Copies of this chain bind each other. A is one copy, B any other.
């Protein structure tokens, strides 16, 4: 358990990467992070605060183009990849070969099942190396994989939607209280930063404002993660993401049928037991529901539920900030677990 470590971030100019740079800057056990742009990228500037004046006046966030020599010279212990999945797929094995821990925020290493992976269309130059790397990856939700994360070499930080859904369902599904064959409906709504910083028609203010839209019905990339982590079959999950006219935040409304009728107190008890010792999940009392606002700019996943009078139909609502618990904050939480520190270090 080292007292302090040296971190580095590739892709600090994107929304999740920037959030990560900010979190690391105030983490008591992280030395000043090395912030890399990807080689030759258009937005490369000398200082992060030229792109994000939000952080000016806080001592400087110099950016430098990525080079392996720099990584070695600075003695980097953990490399965070806030990069497109195809970049992560290529760089993670190389970083591991350099003896550096990797926490990857993309979808590159989250999936085991090749059928689920197909949606990403990976084109690995060295397939064998890729497979070997994949085998090392630990799925990055500490509440579910705390032990494997300790000393892990490669963490596949969980997807934002996936985190909100998996955390809401894991206690009841693992306790076999859910009628899986009935099917689970996950109706999720996300703020726009989840779509990334690249301007597109879809993220144009005029297209998003005063609007709500469903997209990627039955074919969103996060589906595979949810299935694998919860041990579900594809037909058991219907997941519909929606784009909300807000910058950040996710709310998932989740519909399950319980295997047999329960009392609200028993549902709550099941969740409380599961998350005892998990400080980043906040459980609401039966019948009380979280709202997106409550968890913004925090690393909490908030979970509440309402049970129908029949004791069978259960509506679970979970909320989180897609850039924090859904990305950068969870990455830091994973790092904390990896090095044996307090799970909330630098996240309160």
Residues of A within 8 A of B (CB): 15, 26, 53-54, 56-58, 182-183, 185, 187, 189, 192-193, 197, 199-201, 203-215, 217-218, 235, 238, 240, 242, 244-249, 251, 253, 255, 257, 279, 282, 284, 289-298, 300, 302, 306, 308-310, 312-313, 315, 317, 348
Contact status A205-B209, CB under 8 Å: yes
30 A-B contacts, Cβ less than 8 Å apart? A54-B293, A56-B282, A58-B348, A185-B187, A192-B205, A193-B206, A197-B201, A203-B204, A203-B206, A205-B208, A205-B247, A209-B209, A209-B247, A210-B247, A210-B293, A211-B292, A212-B251, A212-B291, A213-B251, A213-B292, A214-B253, A214-B317, A215-B289, A218-B315, A235-B308, A235-B310, A238-B313, A238-B315, A244-B244, A297-B297
Q: In the assembled complex, how far is the CB of residue A338 from the closest CB belonging to chain B, in whole angstroms? A: 23
Please give, as numbers and ranges, the residues of chain B lying within 8 Å of A183 by CB-CB distance. 257, 313
Please give, as numbers and ranges, the residues of chain B lying within 8 Å of A317 by CB-CB distance. 214
Closest to A210 in B: B246
Q: How far is the CA of A218 from the CA of B297 in the complex (A)?
A: 30
Contact status A212-B199, CB under 8 Å: no
The answer to whether residues A291 and B211 also contact, given A199-B200, A313-B183 and a CB cut-off of 8 A, is yes
Please give, as numbers and ranges, the residues of chain B lying within 8 Å of A242 by CB-CB distance. 189, 251, 253
The answer to whether residues A204 and B199 also contact, given A217-B315, A293-B54 and a CB cut-off of 8 A, is yes
Please give, as numbers and ranges, the residues of chain B lying within 8 Å of A204 by CB-CB distance. 197, 199, 203-205
Q: In the assembled complex, how far is the CB of residue A131 from the closest CB belonging to chain B, in whole angstroms? A: 27
Please give, as numbers and ranges, the residues of chain B lying within 8 Å of A211 by CB-CB distance. 246, 249, 291-293
Q: How far is the CA of A192 from the CA of B248 in the complex (A)?
A: 19
Q: How far is the CA of A62 from the CA of B300 in the complex (A)?
A: 21
Please give, as numbers and ranges, the residues of chain B lying within 8 Å of A218 by CB-CB distance. 306, 308-309, 313, 315
Q: In the assembled complex, how far is the CB of residue A70 from the closest CB belonging to chain B, in whole angstroms? A: 28
Please give, as numbers and ranges, the residues of chain B lying within 8 Å of A240 by CB-CB distance. 253, 315
Please give, as numbers and ranges, the residues of chain B lying within 8 Å of A257 by CB-CB distance. 183
Q: How far is the CA of A348 from the CA of B55 in the complex (A)?
A: 11
Contact status A206-B192, CB under 8 Å: yes
Please give, as numbers and ranges, the residues of chain B lying within 8 Å of A282 by CB-CB distance. 56-57
Q: In the assembled complex, how far is the CB of residue A262 from the closest CB belonging to chain B, in whole angstroms? A: 15
Q: In the assembled complex, how far is the CB of residue A277 from the closest CB belonging to chain B, in whole angstroms? A: 14
Q: In the assembled complex, how far is the CB of residue A259 from the closest CB belonging to chain B, in whole angstroms? A: 15
Contact status A247-B206, CB under 8 Å: yes
Please give, as numbers and ranges, the residues of chain B lying within 8 Å of A53 by CB-CB distance. 284, 290-291, 294, 302
Q: How far is the CA of A199 from the CA of B204 in the complex (A)?
A: 6
Closest to A295 in B: B54
The answer to whether residues A214 and B313 also contact, given A54-B294, A204-B197 and a CB cut-off of 8 A, is no
Please give, as numbers and ranges, the residues of chain B lying within 8 Å of A185 by CB-CB distance. 185, 187, 255
